[in-house]
Structure 1
Amino acid sequence: MWRLLFSGIVVFPGLFIAFRKVLPAVFKRWTDADVVLVSERLVSSIHAIMATTAGIIVVSSCRSNVITDRHWLVTSFVIWYGVPYMSYDIFAMYLSHFYRFRVKGHEDYKGHSLRTINSFVRKEFLLVLHHIALLTILLPITLFFRKDQGDYFIGCLFLTELSTPFVSLGKILIQLSMQECWLHKMNGGMVLLSFFLCRIMLFPYMYWVYGSHYGIPLYSVPFHIPLSANLGSLCILSPQVYWFVLLCRKGYRLYKRQCNQGSPISSTEQLSKTD
């Protein structure tokens, strides 16, 4: 078991370092910020594919009794790859933040310091809080406090990672200056669809599955389960809704900009501004 845990600790930083070595040789004009960002996103996509695969296996194996059915992959994946990845990802996000501001020429980013760490935490507070909450609250509950029940629902939570590869692909396409191509537009639609289904509608679905198991209506489920379960779901769901709203706003702005670029009025306005 310790060997497997060690492999989880090594695999994600190892992949990150490998991508940082390979990408500059392929994309010679990329800055350090470009390389770190894409490396981080590639590793995130790999972890997301692993988590989604584990979730599919668990959910498909625990359908007969969603409360008591067990699957060894739940606990094993959390220990071997969940905890190491969340710990690594905080550091990788900090590096991406550091190099992004360093390339922009900020004086404070000539080297790592408490000031750069503080700036990162303030700028990415919600993401950092999300990772810390998973490490300190959700993971201990998964491992120790759920009394060997609910593997099906833990498998469902693994499926929230399904949207991550699409989000990562969008950022990578922007780095490759391919944001105007059809792939980027199609990927944007997949980001919204997968995020909505797997990070927002997943929670009503889990409540519905629980209610179906006990023969109670959906609206009664919150009063049937412990308060801690409702609070945990709310803590996970709230930032997802916030991020989904941001994604919708960004998608709407891009759509509006493309429409304006194609209209005769916008062309006239651009010519008048040029004059």
Structure 2
Amino acid sequence: MLALMAAGTAFFPGLFLVSKGTLKCMMGWSEGDAAIISTRLVSSVQAVMASSVGCIIASSCRDVMEDRHWLTDTYILFATPYFAYDIYAMFLCYWHKLQVKGHEEEGGRRWTGAAVGGYLRREMLMVLHHVFMVAFCFPASLLWRQGKGDFFQGVLFLAELSTPFVCLGKVLIQYKQQHTLLHKVNGCLVLLTFFSCRVLLFPYLYYAYSRYASIPVYSVPLVAPWQCNLGAALLWPLQLYWFTLICRGALRQFPRSHSPPPTFKADCMTPSNGCRSHQEDGL
């Protein structure tokens, strides 16, 4: 258990440092650009790993409650440190963005305190989401479910499928490529994957259990563990909110497809999911 968590604690920051160093040395990028792209790379790698694990687990469990798969607990332990790392990575991106904009103030402590305060105000929902994943979802997934429902845990991993597309969209915006065909195709993929893997996620989980238990869907909350209902009640509205913002960003883009490309804020800080605010995912 501790070995897997230690491996995750070393892997995600280590991948970030290696990626940042490589981009600085081989591409000649600045510290800020290398850090931002590296954060998005790590987020995408974690998302691909989680989605792959989720697909393997969900396809292997025939009995949605009783079947077990060794990858379930293994990946929970390995990936949990990612959320703690990602909070810091998101702040690092925000820090570099402020430096680029010339918002430094005299006095190191004053500047750091202002940056932390601004970061928390800007990304409060994402930070709370990550804290909730560690403080609540980790014990709920590893301990409270008592070895039941690996299928449902696998489906939850699939929520990360949209994160690589969100990260790619932010990279394209950062480099002023939002007028390209790649950006438009990627935007469609963001909408499709976010809607299918995040918005429809929790209704599908309740539907799957209703089929298993042969009860109406509306009765599932009455028999499901309180941890499941609480998690769904807190996480699903966030997905709906972020999806609404993504749709608004898409609507702002497509009517202007024949006009000169607008100027977008390539602000750092999605999905997952570090450095990918769903609040500004203009596809």
- The two structures, once aligned, show a CA RMSD in angstroms of 1.9
After TM superposition, list the pairs within 5 Å mapping 1:85-104 onto structure 2: 85-104=82-101
CA distance in 2, matches of 1:133, 1:228: 12
* Equivalent position of 1:148 in the other structure: 147
SS at match of 1:106: coil
Residue in structure 1 matched with residue 10 of structure 2 by the alignment: 10
Return closer, same or farther for 1:208/1:127 CA change in 2, 3 Å cut-off. same
Residue identity opposite 2:98 in structure 1 = F
Q: Is the 8 A contact 1:33 1:100 kept in 2?
A: yes
Deviation at 1:5, TM superposition (A): 2.8
1:224 alignment counterpart? 223
Change (3 A) 1:108 1:237: farther
Match of 2:182 in 1: 183
Q: CA deviation at 1:110?
A: 7.6
Residue correspondence of structure 1 range 1-275 to structure 2 within 5 A: 1-28=1-28, 30-63=29-62, 65-80=63-78, 82-108=79-105, 111=108, 113-260=112-259
Letter in 2 for 1:161: E
What displacement does 1:200 show?
Answer: 0.9
Structure in which a larger fraction of residues adopt helix: 1
**Overall identity of the aligned pairs, in %:** 44
In the alignment, residue 223 of structure 1 is paired with which amino acid?
A: L
Pairwise CA distance, 1:102: 1.1
CA contact (8 A) 2:199 2:239 kept: yes
Number of residue pairs the alignment of both structures matches: 259
Structure of higher RCO (CA pairs closer than 8 Å, 6+ residues apart): 2
Report the residue type matching 2:17 in the other structure: I
Which runs of at least 4 in structure 1 moved beyond 4 Å after TM superposition?
109-112, 259-262
Quote the offset at 1:236 in angstroms: 1.2
Give me the whole-angstrom Cα distance separating, in 2, the residues matched to 1:51 and 1:99: 28
**CA distance 1:258–1:109, shift in 2 (3 Å):** farther
Aligned position for 2:266: none
What is the alpha-carbon distance in structure 2 between the residues aligned to residue 132 and residue 164 of structure 1?
18
Gaps in structure 1 of 5+ consecutive residues: 263-275
**C-alpha contact (below 8 Å) 1:66/1:151 kept by paired residues:** yes
Is the Cα contact below 8 Å between 2:60 and 2:69 reproduced in 1? yes
2:96 and 2:184 map into 1 onto residues whose CA distance is 28
Question: Structure 2 length as normaliser, TM-score?
Answer: 0.86
User: Could you tell me which residue of structure 2 aligns to residue 268 of structure 1?
Assistant: none
**Stretches of structure 2 lacking an aligned partner (at least 5 in a row):** 262-283
State whether residues 101 and 109 of structure 1, in contact with CA within 8 Å, keep that contact through their aligned partners in structure 2: no
Q: Is the 8 A contact 2:98 2:104 kept in 1?
A: no
Residue range with higher mean Cα deviation, 4-13 or 171-180: 171-180
Q: Which amino acid aligns with 2:22?
A: V
Q: CA deviation at 1:175?
A: 2.8
Counterpart of 2:268 in structure 1 is none
Q: 1:89 to 1:109 in 2, by over 3 A?
A: farther
- In structure 2, C-alpha distance between the alignment counterparts of 1:161 and 1:184, rounded to whole Å: 20
On the 8 A contact 1:58/1:74 being kept in 2, the answer is: yes
Higher alpha-carbon Rg: 1
